[in-house]
């Protein structure tokens, strides 16, 4: 476990920001004489408070969180360390039953940061602030940034991977199959060597979907479309980097300004199948700084048919 020491002032600001993730009810600040102003005594050095000053247990279980202490019920808990009553949660985090308070850092450091100690953010572990007032030696009473492979006891359950899967699935569902527009229109008959216009109903915009990862953490997936690959059914394939222009009779016999082709050279017999594949890129990120490894390509294809015939010669 890699630890990195910070000053109390630096860490205090980060802990306060991190606490917003959990909506934790924190103990009141201790006064100089050790009083909390809430009917219980708090040690301003260790952060340990008597039971009457302990904040509500975020889990509401009323159970013991280590040290053999029994629950008090009613949504609060009593925690202890070697027979001494300690706060189950305070401004340093959540009591883990092993002499430390832990609080998830928000946002998480970027991949490659020394705090990860060579571990990958996608490996399941996370970076926590740790405050261990009962350790001896140089680490005693100092706030650290620590990599923990598993969430310590009493931490809210946060499953970023599961939320990412759900958010991405929702975003992919929004990347719906397109309705193809064409001139000649789908199901109708066009003529050889006449310009063909192609367009889609797909909005050229970002699609987003979010999922709850627990503990106040949200994962958001974003889908963006970069291009549409068209296959005309006669062997021609090309890519348009826009939705195309919808045909109007005012355009007459002209080619599409941005997505189409000069026309079929042979009758269809009986029809040509036109396909449009939207090339979506889906990525995700979380509110605690854990992001997906990179955009994932998600193609979505729609098809339509057109009939092409020879022009008839009039005598």
Q: Are residues 54 and 140 in the same domain?
A: yes
What is the rounded distance in angstroms from the CA atom of residue 120 to the CA atom of residue 101? 24
Q: Are residues 141 and 168 in the same domain?
A: no
The mean pLDDT of 183-191, rounded to a whole number, is 90
Q: Are residues 264 and 210 in the same domain?
A: yes
> Which letter, b or e, does each residue of 23-47 get, where b requires 16 or more Cβ atoms within 10 Å of its Cβ?
ebebbbebeeeeebeeebebeeebb
Place of tokens 């401004």: 91
pLDDT one-digit tens code per residue, 135-149: 776 666 788 899 999
Best CA proximity match to 172, nearest among 234, 127, 134, 222 = 222
Q: Kindly state whether residue 268 falls inside one of the protein's structural domains.
A: yes
87-96, 227-236, 247-256, 262-271: least confident range: 87-96
How would you classify the pairing of strands 93-95 and 217-231?
A: unpaired
Q: Find the domain containing 112 and state its range.
A: 3-148
What is the rounded distance in angstroms from the CA atom of residue 225 to the CA atom of residue 233? 23
What is the rounded distance in angstroms from the CA atom of residue 104 to the CA atom of residue 203? 38
Q: Kindly state whether residue 258 falls inside one of the protein's structural domains.
A: yes
Higher pLDDT, 170 or 27: 170
Q: Are residues 136 and 208 in the same domain?
A: no
Q: Are residues 137 and 176 in the same domain?
A: no
**Highest mean pLDDT, choosing among 58-62, 136-140, 233-237, 294-298:** 233-237
Give me the number of domains the chain comprises: 2
Q: Are residues 170 and 304 in the same domain?
A: yes
What is the rounded distance in angstroms from the CA atom of residue 95 to the CA atom of residue 111? 27
Q: Which two tokens stand for residue 15?
A: 């802990």
Beta-bridge partners for 217: 214
What is the rounded distance in angstroms from the CA atom of residue 222 to the CA atom of residue 292? 11
Q: Are residues 218 and 304 in the same domain?
A: yes
252: domain CATH number is: 2.60.40.10
Examine the fold and report which residue of 95, 118, 148 is the final residue of a domain before the chain moves on.
148
Q: Are residues 181 and 114 in the same domain?
A: no
Q: Are residues 170 and 128 in the same domain?
A: no
Q: Kindly state whether residue 299 falls inside one of the protein's structural domains.
A: yes
Q: Which two tokens stand for residue 37?
A: 């102003």
Q: Are residues 305 and 177 in the same domain?
A: yes
pLDDT one-digit tens code per residue, 272-306: 999 999 998 999 998 877 788 889 888 989 999 99
What is the rounded distance in angstroms from the CA atom of residue 228 to the CA atom of residue 200? 9
Q: Is the pTM of this model over 0.75?
A: no
What is the rounded distance in angstroms from the CA atom of residue 119 to the CA atom of residue 264? 57
Best CA proximity match to 21, nearest among 105, 102, 128 = 105
- State the pLDDT at residue 115: 92
Examine the fold and report which residue of 148, 183, 215 is the final residue of a domain before the chain moves on.
148
Examine the fold and report which residue of 148, 168, 191 is the final residue of a domain before the chain moves on.
148
Q: Kindly state whether residue 172 falls inside one of the protein's structural domains.
A: yes
């Amino acid at each position: 476990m890699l630890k990195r020491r910070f000053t109390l002032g630096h860490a205090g600001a980060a802990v306060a920001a991190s606490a917003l993730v959990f909506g934790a009810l924190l103990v009141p600040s201790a006064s100089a004489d050790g009083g909390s102003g809430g009917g219980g005594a708090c040690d301003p050095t260790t952060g340990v408070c008597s039971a009457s000053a302990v904040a509500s247990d975020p889990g509401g279980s009323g159970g013991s969180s280590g040290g053999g202490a029994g629950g008090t019920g009613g949504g609060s808990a009593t925690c202890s360390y070697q027979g001494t009553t300690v706060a189950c949660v305070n401004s340093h985090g959540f009591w883990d039953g092993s002499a430390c308070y832990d609080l998830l850092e928000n946002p998480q450091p970027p991949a490659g940061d020394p705090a990860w100690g060579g571990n990958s953010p996608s490996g399941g572990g996370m970076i926590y602030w740790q405050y261990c007032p009962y350790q001896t030696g140089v680490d005693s009473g100092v706030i650290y940034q620590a990599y923990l492979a598993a969430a310590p006891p009493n931490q809210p359950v946060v499953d970023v991977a599961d939320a990412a899967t759900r958010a991405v699935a929702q975003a992919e569902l929004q990347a719906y199959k397109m309705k193809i527009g064409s001139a000649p229109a789908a199901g109708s008959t066009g003529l050889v060597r006449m310009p063909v216009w192609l367009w889609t109903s797909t909005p050229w915009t970002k699609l987003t979907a979010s999922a709850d990862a627990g503990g106040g953490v949200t994962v958001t997936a974003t889908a963006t479309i970069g291009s549409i690959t068209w296959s005309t059914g006669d062997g021609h394939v090309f890519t348009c980097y826009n939705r195309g222009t919808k045909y109007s009779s005012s355009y007459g016999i002209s080619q599409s300004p941005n997505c189409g082709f000069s026309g079929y050279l042979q009758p269809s017999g009986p029809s040509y199948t036109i396909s449009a594949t939207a090339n979506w890129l889906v990525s995700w990120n979380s509110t605690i700084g854990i992001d997906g490894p990179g955009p994932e390509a998600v193609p979505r294809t729609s098809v339509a048919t057109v009939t092409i015939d020879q022009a008839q010669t009039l005598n």
